[in-house]
Amino acid sequence: MRTVLITGASSGIGAACAQVLATESNYRLLLCARRADRLTSLTNEIHSLHPNVDIHSFTLDVRDNAEVKRAIASLPTEWQNIDVLINNAGLSQGLDALQDGDTDDWDRMIDTNVKGLLYVSKTVIPLLKKSTRAHIINIGSIAGKEVYPNGNVYCATKHAVDALNKAMRIDLLPFGIKVTAINPGMVETEFSEVRFKGDKERAKNVYAGVVPLSGLDIAETIRYVLSLPAHVNINDLLIMPTAQATGTVIVRN
């Protein structure tokens, strides 16, 4: 049995990871995000399909280092044996040229995507070191592989995730902890609604005329990555909708 901690489990890719891993008999799920009501309904939904899956959820804002430390330290003893960390919590805010950007948006992205990922990793690594099948999955992005117009700070945060993934792979090697980056292209989740601050019409247009990836597509990939034998690790994986070649080269019907 492996215990998986998923950050940002209340929506999109994180919630899909919980749903997919719940279909296997060898995972216990530790789910966190800021929205408690979402975590409760996800837990109920999973339990209605898979009543035997062990789930523990807790609220967490990954930007708050003290809260991260407190939340992990106060997990019930039986949930302290974490084997897998999925660093998924993240967001984009705005899509403006750098010179027009909102510095509060920059802070939110850097604090969540970079500093939050670091705080959670630093706190959980001592627990992972005790596991014989430890694995960190970092959710990067195509935005961590290239820069697209107006993507500036979001792209910078995902380039940082790319660098941190490589750094973890090196620094955690002596402990046998696997480290994998999953870098998706366009995935239809609440991501664009968050980026455009609730403008549903603008968010919907991002996916107009294409079949984007779904959270489940990414979760199925993660299920595969986690299922590989102990001696095999996927370091870095770029996964795109068939209709998308790069961040901006997209064929729309």
Q: How far is the CB of 246 from ligand NDP (least distance, A)?
A: 13
* Residue 156 in the binding site for ligand 8X3 (CB under 6 A): no
Instruction: Name residues contacting ligand 8X3, limited to 164-223 (CB under 6 A).
Output: 186, 191
Q: Which stretch binds ligand 8X3 (CB under 6 A): 64-72, 121-129, 136-144, 216-224?
A: 136-144
Among 142, 153, 156, 226, binds ligand 8X3 (CB under 6 A): 142
Q: How far is the CB of 236 from ligand NDP (least distance, A)?
A: 14
Q: How far is the CB of 116 from ligand NDP (least distance, A)?
A: 6
Among 22, 143, 164, 181, binds ligand 8X3 (CB under 6 A): 143
Instruction: Name residues contacting ligand NDP, limited to 116-155 (CB under 6 A).
Output: 116, 139, 141
The 10 Å CB-count burial string (b at 16+, else e) for 137-176 is bbbbbbbbbeeeeebbbbbbbbbbbbebbeebbeebeeee
Among 88, 121, 123, 221, binds ligand NDP (CB under 6 A): 88
> 148 catalytic, yes or no?
no
Active site positions, annotated: 154
Where does this chain bind ligand 8X3 (CB under 6 A)? 141-143, 151, 186, 191, 247
**Which residues of the chain form contacts with ligand NDP (CB under 6 A)?**
7-8, 10-14, 33-35, 38, 60-63, 88-91, 112, 116, 139, 141, 184, 186-187, 189-191, 194, 215
